[in-house]
Structure 1
Amino acid sequence: MVVIVMSDFDRMLDDFFKNYQDRGMKKWAGFYLSDHTQKIEQEEQQNNKVIKSRPIQTAEEVGMLLFQAFENHLEVDIQLKQVDVNGVIPASIVGFVGGYQQDNVVINDQQIKFEDIKNIQIRTE
């Protein structure tokens, strides 16, 4: 028979691990990186950004501005007529006019119906 003699430290260590319960992911909650928290704050600011409603333009105005932007390869900022159930206006569509297809205009490979456009601005920046 082999007798193992344990020191006081070994007994304390053995007792600790017999009663230890891991807290799981709770213990890692404080280890967010500063750039991660900064990214989260930026996303929250973007999501909470209130977009102001712009005036409704006529079909002629929209068509003229789209043609001008297409002809001169200028960037446009398009606000659609859509709103969500809370009355929040979605973010504007920003890009270059790539062409036309029937009743649609192509902005950044995305087709947008002419009738859905509320306001268009040519970006000068």
Structure 2
Amino acid sequence: MSKLWQIDDDALVQRFFDHDYQDRGVVKWQGFYLSDHTAALKKQARQEAVKHPAKTQQSLEEMSVILSDAYANGKRVSIQVNDRDLNGEFRPDLVGKVIGYKEDKIYLAGQTDVSILDMRHVERGIGM
């Protein structure tokens, strides 16, 4: 067996780390990030940077007329819900074809149901 090289002088070791050794910090770990991971982080940052401004609060009657028309004619709608993220920003609009309703719930294709009482603004699906 070979004998490992060893320094017994603790002061010498401490002086090396205090004065001579320069830690590269995070730079030394960057080679471990996969390109897929960094692409996902960049995509998430872009999505979080998008702001969804508040739209005009509509009355229940206004929203009901638009939703009824969309349901009767198979049209898509865009719904802004009175729900905000942790930063106080509105979430993206729910967009889809109105496929049904029950009591105060509206059902959009490809989306979860949403209560009309939670809605802020509804737009007809022109250009969607």
TM-score bin, normalised by smaller chain: 0.5 to 0.7
Q: Which letter maps to 2:117? A: E
Measure how far apart 1:65 and its partner are: 1.1
Are residues 1:65 and 2:62 paired? Answer: no
SS of match in other structure, 2:68: helix
Equivalent pairs, count: 107
Q: Given that residues 94 and 111 in structure 2 are in contact (C-alpha distance below 8 angstroms), is that contact kept between their aligned partners in structure 1?
A: no
SS of match in other structure, 2:58: coil
Could you tell me which residue of structure 2 aligns to residue 21 of structure 1?
Answer: none
Q: Summarize the alignment of residues 5-44 of structure 1 with structure 2, pairs less than 5 Å apart.
A: 29-44=30-45
Q: In structure 2, what is the Cα distance between the partners aligned to 1:86 and 1:37?
A: 23
Could you tell me which residue of structure 1 aligns to residue 96 of structure 2?
Answer: 95
Are residues 1:118 and 2:120 paired? Answer: yes
| Percent identity of equivalent pairs | 29
- Comparing 33-42 and 99-108, the one that deviates more: 33-42
How high is the TM-score relative to the length of structure 1?
0.68
Measure how far apart 1:15 and its partner are: 5.3
Q: In structure 2, what is the Cα distance between the partners aligned to 1:98 and 1:66?
A: 10
Q: In structure 2, what is the Cα distance between the partners aligned to 1:83 and 1:68?
A: 28
Q: Given that residues 98 and 109 in structure 1 are in contact (C-alpha distance below 8 angstroms), is that contact kept between their aligned partners in structure 2?
A: no
Q: In structure 1, what is the Cα distance between the partners aligned to 2:122 and 2:80?
A: 6
Q: In structure 1, what is the Cα distance between the partners aligned to 2:41 and 2:75?
A: 33
The unaligned stretches of length 5 or more in structure 2 are 6-26
Measure how far apart 1:27 and its partner are: 6.8
Measure how far apart 1:97 and its partner are: 1.1
- Which structure: larger Rg? 1
SS of match in other structure, 1:39: helix
Q: Given that residues 51 and 90 in structure 1 are in contact (C-alpha distance below 8 angstroms), is that contact kept between their aligned partners in structure 2?
A: yes
